[in-house]
Chains A and B, each alone.
Chain A
Amino acid sequence: MNPARKHKLLKVSFLLAILALATLLIMYALRQNISLFFSPDQLVKGEAPLKRSIRVGGMVVPGSIQRSNKTLQIQFDITDYKNTIHVYYRGVLPDLFREGQGVVAQGRFNRKTQQFKAREILAKHDENYMPPEVKSALSATT
């Protein structure tokens, strides 16, 4: 092999190595960091993984919101009209969190107690807005 060719081959393999590394990183990161979306019905039926963070979406059941007097602990139910789960959260809720409106919670589900411990509550859109996942989850049930 002549030196020029060898040089070129080195360069190409270097670029390929970077590319492979990038692809590996992407695949790894996607595996670790996607969060899947489920409806309360799917959670109750046990279709959701329990060991990782997931998203659950549905309507906040009117009258189900309970606050603690001392801390920022809050508890409410979300439903897809088939099944209902309890959601626990501690912290400040987003402005658009309301009874009877769609909400998405991110966190983990405990199958035994049927409780969803939320790390984050998402409801950051305008008043007419329904998160598409919630919309399709709700329309699938009716």
Chain B
Amino acid sequence: MIAEAGLFSLIIALFFSILLVILPSVGVIKNLSILQLTAGRYVFGQFLFIGIAYLCLTLCFLRDDFTVIYVLTNSSISLPWFYKFCAVWGGHEGSMLLWVAILSFWTLCVSQFSKHLAEEIRVRVLVILGALSAGFILFVITTSNPFLRQFQILHAHGRDLNPLLQDPGFLFHPPMLYMGYVGFAVAFSFAIATLWLGRVESAWVRWTRPWTLAAWCCLTTGITLGSWWAYRELGWGGWWFWDPVENASFMPWLVGTALIHSLVVNEQRGQFKAWSLLLAISAFSLSLIGTFLVRSGVLTSVHAFAVDPQRGLFILFFLLMVIGGSLLLFALRSQTLQTEKKLNSVSREGAMLLNNVFLFSAMATVLMGTVYPLLIDGLGLGKLSVGAPYFNTVFVPLMIPLFILMGLGAHLKWHSDCLKTVLLRLSGVAFFSILLPIGILFFCAKVINPSALLGLVLAFWILFTTLKAVWNKRQSRGLFHISQTYWGMVVAHCGVAATIIGIAVSTNYGMQEDVRVALGEQFNFAGFQFQFVKETNLKGPNYHGVQTQFKISSANRSVTIYPEKRIYNVGQMAMTESAIDVTPLRDVYVALGEPLDSYTWSVRLYYKPFVRWIWGGGVMILLGGLLALLDRRYYKT
């Protein structure tokens, strides 16, 4: 019954979203304000019924209703309850339902928090969100219905959730990522609504900015969590793999970052109007492309679920409609907003323009690397894969000038500035940010690695210039008159510096070794002494396996960690649970490979200095975004 109720309420939700598209837009065309005012009701109805559908699916999981195929394939009786709760988004169908649910949540938020907007724009935004929602609900119902039943297998115990997903990271990573993905739909709808209306008011920025920032913060959180999860769960020891699906989340983030910056220029100088609109459209289009890439199964990746050409076709069609339609609208209408003032290239806005160019080209290179194998395969030219070396070769050279610019931009004045005086002013900072890393590397590491040095120089440059900018501002304005948004920028930029430090040091000074270890054996790695102390059997709720004890000692510290090898009962799938000794300055990471003889294992060891800084920087970037988002200036009416 519950599953049928879920499907039924999903269908009702579809009706509400269709109503939301049709009636208010008739109201807009015929200029009937009664019809326009009904939009809020449909939004609420849509949210309510999608919510009910979502709850129904969750209940099916919690009650172990294995006649529902989706529950059968993604859960089992012995799965702990909190994994049942989030197994809802463990497969394709459920994660699409989550996508739709989050979209309706954002729509409800827009409807609730934009009451002060002019009715004409508010209605249009809701109509566009309704259209997106209708498209996706239709997709869920027709091609990926999570409520389908089966009656062949009656006394099933469930095929269990993929063991890779049975980790606390799974509770937060997908919802946060989707919040970010789908959140760009709001900025997108504002952009389309503005084009539909045919005039860009300066208020556009004020409306879009908080929504863009909110979505961007969620996406930042999602990406950071995903990176941390991949590092600890998969036993691969890396924090970024340039996996197509990682790229799919990274591309909207890059464009979203560009959008945040161009909105600042928009607000301060009234420039970049058309460009910001285009970025808002691109950010959401990339989210859709990401969904297409992941869900259509065209890509080989950890995240790809079942392959179903029908789904791919539907999403591809939807993609063409949305992206093609919005770009066409942009092409037709963007001339009406040509009020651009002349841009002086040596100025804050000039720096922001360059920032946008670099971020956008970085996105383009990532996109290229991601879809290139598809293109070649589609043209029948063979099968190939584009790996991390490609991305490192193209991405890093684009980031270097961006980071230099990041420090410089904060010191340029709006409108126009003199490059020579600014450079002269910053020469001391530049000197220190080159000298200090050389000194640090010289004293702390025996070898000076050139790429680590480059990373550190860039990081210190960003850090020092940002702090100096704060100092200057304090002298001219006083510490307490610096706006919260400005602090947000400072924290986020320092976060970028922290991430660069983490990346530069951990990739260049990290060590890795695969060894063969017998019980009781002692060995040395990266200046630490290891001992394989003990091996015990392990029994969990839905797995069994082996837990081992490793003692790690160095001159002033001695800890014991417990790497595990689990075998999940249902699929007999082996999983590595790595164990990490964490300190702020370095990680020592032990992952069990496979048993070789009795009490002998192949073991993978990593020493990763400063690796925590990568995610620490991510958290700082998030904090910066939150500071800017919560700036009260934007909510005064």
Contact = CB atoms under 8 A, between A and B. Distances in A.
B368 interface: yes
Nearest to B235: A95
Contacts of B591: 92
B156 interface: no
A33 B162 contact: no
B387 interface: yes
B471 interface: no
Contacts of A11: 345
A91 to B, nearest CB: 4
Contact of A72 (B357, B372, B397, B516): B516
Interface stretch (B77-85, B216-224, B429-437, B570-578): B570-578
A87 B179 CA distance: 44
How would you classify the secondary structure of chain A's contact residues: helix, strand, loop or mixed? mixed
Contact of B604 (A92, A96, A131): A92
Interface stretch (B245-253, B327-335, B377-385, B501-509): B377-385
Nearest to B515: A72
B302 A124 contact: yes
Contacts of A92: 514, 591, 593-594, 602-604
A50 interface: no
B18 interface: no
Contact of A26 (B162, B307, B365, B387): B365
Interface residues of A, number: 35
Given A22-B398, A26-B394, A36-B382, A127 B571 contact: yes
Interface string B108-120: 0000000000000
Contacts of A127: 571-573
Contacts of A29: 389-390, 393-394
Contacts of B357: 15, 18
Nearest to A124: B302
A70 B386 CA distance: 35
A94 to B, nearest CB: 8
A18 B405 CA distance: 15
Interface string A52-86: 00010000000000010011100000000000000
Q: Which one of A71, A91, A93, A96 has the greatest number of beta carbons of chain B within 10 Å?
A: A91
A93 B382 CA distance: 27
A126 B164 contact: yes
24 contacts: A15-B357, A18-B357, A22-B364, A25-B394, A25-B397, A30-B369, A30-B390, A33-B390, A34-B390, A35-B384, A35-B385, A35-B387, A37-B382, A67-B596, A71-B516, A72-B516, A95-B576, A96-B574, A126-B162, A126-B571, A127-B572, A132-B307, A133-B300, A133-B383
Given A36-B384, A72-B602, A124-B302, 18 more contacts: A22-B364, A22-B365, A25-B394, A29-B390, A30-B369, A33-B386, A34-B373, A36-B382, A36-B383, A37-B383, A55-B385, A92-B604, A95-B235, A95-B575, A124-B236, A127-B572, A132-B307, A133-B300
